[in-house]
Amino acid sequence: MAQASGNTISKIWLSIIGCLFVFTFSCNKFKREENKNSEKIIARVYSHNLTLADVKNIVPKGTSHNDSITIIRNYIQNWARQQVVLKKAEDNLSADDKDVEKKLEEYRNSLITYIYESELIRQKMDTSINDQEIENYYNEHPNNFQLKDNIIKVLYLRVPKNAPKLDKVRNWYKSDSPKDRKQLEEYCFQFARDYNFNDGDWLLFDDLLKKVPIETYDKEQFLRNNRFIEIPDSSTIYLVNIKGFKIKESQSPLSFERDNIRNLIINKRKLDMIRDMEKAAYDNALKDHEVEFFIPKK
């Protein structure tokens, strides 16, 4: 931040004094005085002083006289409030609570360790995971992959009521024929307002409900009893083909859990690498006699 000269600050401070800028703390009125080094004290809160030197660098160069006064006034007020709250905290906290040195040391140690471990992982950990590893993990931990929500494989489209060839569209969206599928895709590219052809992928049923106005109080029962769905509104027709579904609390399919398993494997590798690093470092320190225990033997 650019600096204002000491003379400018002095003039500003005199202006503040001239405006009868007064603080009251613990029944002692704010007053201007000199300390041992002849530094002007511009505020006092309990045993803490704020001097003219403390505020001389807070005003940016080119700031107007009135704005400079406002900046300094606000700074002094904020400083005073901070000191009052700090005193209040010190008076009401126990000695253990006020032992910030220990807390800062613990935080510093944790932060340094975390930075080192992160850099170690970044440089040395292999993050490549093949499909066989993912499948093995899935098969070895089946109880970890229970669905929390209903999922579906679905094809849907939303078209205007006045769109052409709707009778053909009603046949195409139900068909498994590659030819019909191609015609439907070309049609949707021209006329559909929204559509989804990723019917080989699993999707949360609730995500479909955000797009299609299906009304049901029993989602599981609805999925069991409906395959092809047509819902009109004032201007639009929704066509839905539910090609597969799995009910919540059943086992989640591997394809739906692939990304999740990849992250689980990576996290396990991280933990293993950190554990191995800690063990090797500790064993080496013991070997080099850098670790000693001064505790009485039983």
Q: Please report, for the domain that includes residue 160, its CATH number.
A: 3.10.50
Residues 121 and 84 in one domain: no
Residues 131 and 264 in one domain: yes
Of 204, 221, 246, the last residue of a domain is: 246
Whether residue 276 is predicted with pLDDT greater than 80 in this model: the reply is: yes
Classified as helix, coil or strand, 230 is strand
Residues 140 and 151 in one domain: no
Is residue 134, in this structure, part of any structural domain at all?
A: yes
Is residue 203, in this structure, part of any structural domain at all?
A: yes
User: Can you point out the beta strands (E) in the chain?
Assistant: 24-25, 28-29, 33-34, 40-45, 48-51, 151-160, 194-196, 203-204, 228-232, 236-246
Is residue 228, in this structure, part of any structural domain at all?
A: yes
Residues 151 and 242 in one domain: yes
Residues 105 and 87 in one domain: no
- Separation between Cα atoms, residue 213 and residue 228, nearest integer Å: 14
Whether residue 29 is predicted with pLDDT greater than 50 in this model: the reply is: no
What pLDDT is recorded for position 57? 83
Is residue 251, in this structure, part of any structural domain at all?
A: no
Residues 140 and 260 in one domain: yes
The parent domain of residue 50 ranges over 6-92
Residues 177-227 have pLDDT tens digits of: 999 999 999 999 999 999 999 999 999 999 999 999 999 999 999 999 999
In total, how many domains does the chain have? 3
Residues 60 and 119 in one domain: no
| Strand (E) or helix (H) holding 13 | helix 6-18
Is residue 298, in this structure, part of any structural domain at all?
A: yes
Residues 106 and 20 in one domain: no
Whether residue 87 is predicted with pLDDT greater than 80 in this model: the reply is: yes
Residues 58 and 179 in one domain: no
Residues 279 and 159 in one domain: no
Contacts of 279 (CB under 8 A, 6+ apart): none
Q: How confident is the model at residue 11 (pLDDT cuts 50, 70, 90)?
A: low
Residues 131 and 64 in one domain: no
Is residue 70, in this structure, part of any structural domain at all?
A: yes
What pLDDT is recorded for position 36? 44
- Separation between Cα atoms, residue 171 and residue 14, nearest integer Å: 88
- Separation between Cα atoms, residue 173 and residue 5, nearest integer Å: 78
Please state which of the ranges 19-33, 39-53, 100-114 shows the lowest mean pLDDT. 19-33
Q: Please compute the mean of the pLDDT values over residues 143-153 and round it to a whole number.
A: 94
Supply the pTM of this predicted model.
Answer: 0.65
Is residue 59, in this structure, part of any structural domain at all?
A: yes
- Separation between Cα atoms, residue 23 and residue 169, nearest integer Å: 79
- Separation between Cα atoms, residue 116 and residue 108, nearest integer Å: 12
Residues 126 and 35 in one domain: no
Is residue 1, in this structure, part of any structural domain at all?
A: no
